[in-house]
Chains A and B, each alone.
Chain A
Amino acid sequence: MGVLENKFQDNVVVASLDKILGWARSTSPWYFQFGLACCAIEMMASAASRHDLERIGMMPRSSPRQADVMIVAGTVTMKMALRVKKLYEQMADPKYVISMGSCATSGGPYWQHGYHVLKGVDLVVPVDVYVPGCPPRPEALIEGLLKLQEKIQTERPLTRKLA
């Protein structure tokens, strides 16, 4: 850290506030606990003891007000699309969305004849990470979550953005 190096005791770490914020945010993204279809079973399996999402700092919250990440786990029907949008709007900033499985990403097996299925949740809310699979295994979901953590870590919330 340039001029600040070796000026303090050994137990003091110096970094920019931006980096610390990014680190703190990325290591505890609490996710919104709601499942729409069979992908939700895999999400539950990821949270359970064998895969244990809490070891990467993620724990389920049952209220959108307390959640940072929305995992859209399953088929989004037209009826649900309005609710998903409303739930996303209820989440506090900064907020992220993971589209889990092929149904949430593109409509999946309902892409042609499913009149009631939304063809991709990105038509309603902005998506950060897409996880492919039908349904994705917990390992795949964890890979997606780690990708999201990398993305959050590179964010610089305090740096003024160029117009």
Chain B
Amino acid sequence: MTSIEIKEALKNQFGKSVMENDELPENQVEVKGEEWLDIATFMKNDPKLSFDQLECITGIDTGEEGPLQSHYNLHSMEHRHKIEIVINHDKNEPKVPSIEKLWRIGDWFERETYDMFGIEYIGHRDLRRILCPDDWEGWPLRKDYEPQESFHGIVVPKIKEEEGWE
């Protein structure tokens, strides 16, 4: 199936939970965060879609004006088609249902996105930081991230763009 056909199939099943967004490229579909677990279950189990592989989960911070996004790259080995799902989050309270039980690889993908962007995956059984230390402050890949000044008594020297070492 082409991306447009996949989008139509999702629209027939879920109606308004699949959004119309003309700014997105052809291979991306934006869906509502609250409905995401149902949509994902359908996408995995429906014999015509049969998305049996989750390739990647990425977070994107689109800056001050824009939202925080989760991107899911799905692929079907059976039908050899793929699609990218986009979910927009409220920046102050980014929450989305976890699909970790559906595709097991989602476990670490969601932990990584949580680590870097602070997006909370509700229903994840072990949502801890995966790369940064457990007691790290802040979400490093967000645009407004400020590195912490000290970590366990180790002072981090601040470096200014033009002046060099402070």
Contact = CB atoms under 8 A, between A and B. Distances in A.
Interface of A: 78-79, 81-82, 111-112, 115-116, 118-119, 123-124
Contact of B152 (A82, A111, A112): A82
Interface residues of B, number: 14
A116 B140 contact: yes
Nearest to A119: B157
Contact of B154 (A111, A116, A124): A124
Q: Which 4 A-B pairs have the closest CB atoms?
A: A115-B147, A79-B133, A78-B151, A112-B159
B140 A81 contact: no
A117 to B, nearest CB: 9
Contacts of B156: 78, 119
Main secondary structure of the interface of B (DSSP, over half): loop
Interface of B: 132-133, 136, 140, 145, 147, 151-152, 154-157, 159, 161
A2 to B, nearest CB: 51
B133 A78 contact: yes
Nearest to A123: B154
Contacts of A79: 132-133
Given A78-B133, A116-B132, A123 B140 contact: no
A111 B159 contact: yes
A115 B159 CA distance: 11
Contacts of B155: 123
A124 B152 CA distance: 11
